[in-house]
A = this chain, B = another copy of it.
């Protein structure tokens, strides 16, 4: 099973290294962390930029993890290619076709999140924009859709997992952090995602979620993360 874990945003070396050490120790292979953060408000913390990418490159070197980070446009793809191992395209950009085409001309694999109101067909055609440029190395990430529900930030649509299996060969992971918005829901819904057949999960982890500069309310601490990884591995063995 693929677990992509790490802080919402890279904040500094200490924070990144503390999380990376835990991921490495529990057998994880991928470290995620945002350097360029698309934020609803122009006045919110938007990431460290290239400085954040440099910290990610250190994480890669020191802990032997593969690094996943978001790109927002053509010029940030250039930077991500310089420092990271996988380009994340976020929900808001699922139909940013200029970005998709640029990612399609990259040698790096692409993590393509589902848009907040995207049908499966629209999501696959977004992937097709990447593939049409020559890059077939894509992982799809279900992260919840917007509904009338008020108890969670989004409604994680786990039926998308078996449905996608019938439409596409692309690997499929579940982001239970953005899919719920509450840290007490992350464990149950990540377990549910694996039980429904996902190939992996994406999880936000921080040494001290209460002090995270973004998304703290949906982030696990290091202990919660380690316990969850054990459960996820066990469930995956059962359903494999």
Interface residues of A (CB under 8 A from B): 38-43, 72-74, 92-93, 95-98, 115-117, 119-122, 125, 128-129, 132, 145-152, 155-163, 166, 179-180, 182, 184-185, 188-189, 191-197, 231, 234-235, 238-239
Contacts and interface: CB of A to CB of B under 8 A. Distances in A.
A191 B180 CA distance: 19
Given A43-B128, A162-B189, 15 more contacts: A41-B125, A42-B97, A119-B150, A120-B150, A120-B151, A145-B147, A145-B149, A149-B160, A151-B159, A152-B157, A155-B155, A156-B158, A158-B188, A162-B188, A188-B196
29 contacts: A39-B97, A40-B121, A40-B122, A42-B132, A43-B132, A72-B98, A92-B96, A116-B116, A117-B145, A119-B148, A120-B150, A145-B147, A145-B149, A147-B155, A148-B148, A152-B163, A155-B155, A158-B158, A158-B188, A159-B180, A159-B189, A161-B188, A166-B184, A188-B197, A191-B239, A192-B196, A195-B235, A235-B238, A238-B238
Contacts of A196: 188-189, 191-192
A152 B159 contact: yes
Contact of A125 (B42, B191, B193): B42
A161 to B, nearest CB: 6
A146 to B, nearest CB: 4
A27 B113 CA distance: 41
Contacts of A39: 97
Given A155-B155, A194-B195, A146 B120 contact: no
B122 A146 contact: no
Contact of A73 (B40, B98, B129, B235): B98
Nearest to A197: B188
A95 to B, nearest CB: 4
A210 to B, nearest CB: 19
Given A145-B149, A147-B145, A191-B196, A97 B158 contact: no
